[in-house]
Amino acid sequence: MRIVLVGPPGAGKGTQAAYLAKNLSIPHISTGDLFRANISQGTDLGKQARAYMDAGQLVPDEVTIGMAKDRMAQSDAVNGFLLDGFPRNVGQAEALDVMLKDEGVKLDAVLDLEVPEEEVVKRIAGRRICRSDSAHVFHVTYNPPKTEGVCDACGGELYQRDDDSEETVRTRLEVYHTQTEPIIDYYRAQGLVVTISALGKVTEVTARAMEALKSDEG
Ligand SMILES: [Zn+2]
């Protein structure tokens, strides 16, 4: 299957992408991983991306599109993939259509994770990370540590990342609304969008997504 995963920040997109890709036996292709891989391997695209990032500028679409194209050409992605973070605007979606058309293949579905805006703010702004290990993640409401401000796993201090402040979350949501949401309309016109609620436990959302993709196929 060829799937694009979309959803606002805080929808649990990265987590769901990993589970879904595993369940469907397809590679999970995330923009974050693409950037890290290209930069660490020093590819031409990685060098270009690095130059923009170092200058504090947004990486142009051509660079991101080039990285996605290279990745999708790798052997494990020939029969399918799950894209996470790409495309992030209509221009990138159009470029993806051209790429797929050139290969004579099509997307099977665009899975849209839906979360009410206030829930997104609550989810992200409540996140607390351990200073000793960023993999130790808690939430003041959904996954509180036994002692406030202290990591259960290692006793490290818990803090809120600047990126997770309510103000930053609202700005990120605004960017999502103006730049990324239009791709949902773009794909809806192609009859590809499958919307599911991203509320509930991680396993419940995965099950819901698998069910929706199955019935969409049939
Ligand atoms: Zn810790």
pLDDT digits over 91-107, tens only?
Answer: 999 999 999 999 999 99
How many Å lie between the centroid of ligand 1 and the Cα of residue 135? 8
11 is in an annotated binding site: yes
Q: Any idea what the Cα angle at residue 46 is, between residues 58 and 32, rounded to 5°?
A: 65
pLDDT digits over 186-195, tens only?
Answer: 999 999 999 9
Q: pLDDT under 50 in the chain at which residues?
A: none
How many Å lie between the centroid of ligand 1 and the Cα of residue 56? 31
Under 8 Å CB-to-CB from 47, ≥6 apart: which residues? none
The per-residue pLDDT for 201 is: 87
* Catalytic-labelled residue, pool 101, 131, 161, 188: 161
Structural domain spans, the chain:
2-217
Total Cβ atoms within 10 A of residue 51: 12
pLDDT digits over 130-155, tens only?
Answer: 999 999 999 999 899 999 999 999 99
Give, as one character, the DSSP assignment of residue 58.
P
Measured between alpha carbons, how far is 169 from 88 in angstroms, rounded to an integer?
17
Measured between alpha carbons, how far is 69 from 52 in angstroms, rounded to an integer?
20
* 88 flagged as catalytic: yes
The per-residue pLDDT for 142 is: 87
How many Å lie between the centroid of ligand 1 and the Cα of residue 23? 29
* 13 flagged as catalytic: yes
31 is in an annotated binding site: yes
The per-residue pLDDT for 98 is: 96
172 is in an annotated binding site: yes
188 is in an annotated binding site: no
Measured between alpha carbons, how far is 120 from 11 in angstroms, rounded to an integer?
7
How many Å lie between the centroid of ligand 1 and the Cα of residue 132? 5
Contact 3, 20 (CB under 8 A): yes
In words, the CATH class of domain 2-217 is: alpha beta
